Amino acid sequence: MQPFVYNALPARVIFGWGTSSQVAQEVKKLGCSRALVLTTPQQVDAGEKVKADLGDLAVGIYSNATMHTPMHVTQEALSKAKELNVDCCVSVGGGSTIGLGKALALHSPDDAKIKNIVIPTTYAGSEATPIIGQTENDKEGKPLKTTQKTLKVLPEVIIYDIDLTLTLPAQMTVTSGLNAVAHAVEALWAVEANPIISNLAVQGIEAIGRSLPLIKADPKSRDGRSDALFGAWACGTCLGAVGMSLHHKLCHTLGGSFNMPHAETHTVILPHAVSYNAPYAQEAVSRVAKALGVDNAAQGLFDLAKNNGAPYSLKELGFKEEDLEKAADIAAKAPYPNPAPLEKEKLLKLLTNAFHGNRPE
What structural domains does the chain harbor?
Answer: 12-165 (3.40.50.1970), 170-356 (1.20.1090.10)
Q: What pTM, to 2 d.p., does this model score?
A: 0.89
- Tell me the C-alpha distance between 6 and 325, whole Å: 38
- Tell me the C-alpha distance between 193 and 187, whole Å: 6
How much is the pLDDT for 3?
A: 85
Check whether 254 has a pLDDT greater than 80. Answer: yes
- Tell me the C-alpha distance between 340 and 350, whole Å: 13
How much is the pLDDT for 240?
A: 87
- Tell me the C-alpha distance between 68 and 126, whole Å: 12
Query: Could you give the residue ranges of the DSSP H alpha helices within the chain?
Result: 23-29, 44-54, 71-83, 95-107, 170-189, 195-217, 222-241, 246-258, 262-277, 282-292, 297-307, 324-332, 344-356
How much is the pLDDT for 139?
A: 67
Q: Contacts from 145-148 at CB under 8 Å and sequence distance 24+?
A: 145/68, 145/252, 145/253, 145/255, 145/256, 145/257, 146/256, 147/244, 147/252
- 104-121 residue pLDDT tens: 999 999 889 999 999 999
How much is the pLDDT for 256?
A: 83
279 — pLDDT class (breaks 50, 70, 90): very high
145 — pLDDT class (breaks 50, 70, 90): confident
Check whether 185 has a pLDDT greater than 80. Answer: yes
Lowest-pLDDT choice from 2-6, 117-121, 207-211, 296-300: 2-6
Most confident stretch, 81-90, 135-144, 165-174: 81-90
Amino acid at 161: D
| Helix, strand, or coil (residue 279) | helix
| Helix, strand, or coil (residue 183) | helix
Calculate mean pLDDT across residues 186-205. 96
How much is the pLDDT for 143?
A: 76
Total residue count of the chain as it appears in this document: 361
Check whether 205 has a pLDDT greater than 90. Answer: yes
- 293-333 residue pLDDT tens: 999 999 999 999 999 999 999 999 999 999 999 999 999 98
Check whether 81 has a pLDDT greater than 90. Answer: yes
Residues 6+ positions from 277 with CB-CB distance below 8 Å: 189, 245, 246, 284, 285, 338, 339, 340
Average pLDDT across the chain, whole number = 94
